[in-house]
Amino acid sequence: MKQQEFTSLTLTEEYFENLLIVIHNTFLKKHNLKQLPKSSQLYGYGNYDSAKPNLKLDLENLCTDTVNGKYLYDKTRQYNFLLQIYINYKMLINYIFLSVESLFHL
């Protein structure tokens, strides 16, 4: 029987839950906050104050394009690449390698 070759990493629900935790912690640290604001303020949609910290503005500053805050809230997976940059790409790669190592007991 041919041994299966692993050439990709499956991005599971657990991966995205952990990614969101890291994003929230990065946001708190970047803006020196003790707790996350309400969802509309955090993601920058609805009746939010654009002068206060929000991920919409943080991500727009990274990509110099418009980010739909409601879409960001509803579909954080669609903004995966920007979110990875937001938390620091190197840190994400380390997280993935550690996950793979623990998964395969390397």
Question: What pTM, to 2 d.p., does this model score?
Answer: 0.63
Report the distance separating Cα 11 and Cα 50, nearest Å.
32
Does 1 reside within a domain? Answer: no
pLDDT in tens, 46-99: 999 999 999 999 988 887 778 788 777 766 655 566 666 666 666 666 666 666
Q: How confident is the model at residue 27 (pLDDT cuts 50, 70, 90)?
A: very high
CA-angle at 7, arms to 3 and 63, nearest 5°: 170
Predicted pLDDT at 70: 79
Our count of domains for the chain comes to 1
Predicted pLDDT at 41: 94
Does 66 reside within a domain? Answer: yes
Domain of 98?
21-104
Predicted pLDDT at 92: 63
Does 9 reside within a domain? Answer: no
Does 8 reside within a domain? Answer: no
Predicted pLDDT at 73: 73
Does 13 reside within a domain? Answer: no
Predicted pLDDT at 21: 84
Which string of b and e fits 83-101 if b means at least 16 CB within 10 Å?
Answer: bbebbeeeebeebeeeeee
Q: Which residues contact 97 (CB under 8 A, 6 or more apart)?
A: none
Predicted pLDDT at 85: 67
Does 56 reside within a domain? Answer: yes
Residue 12, pLDDT > 60, answer yes
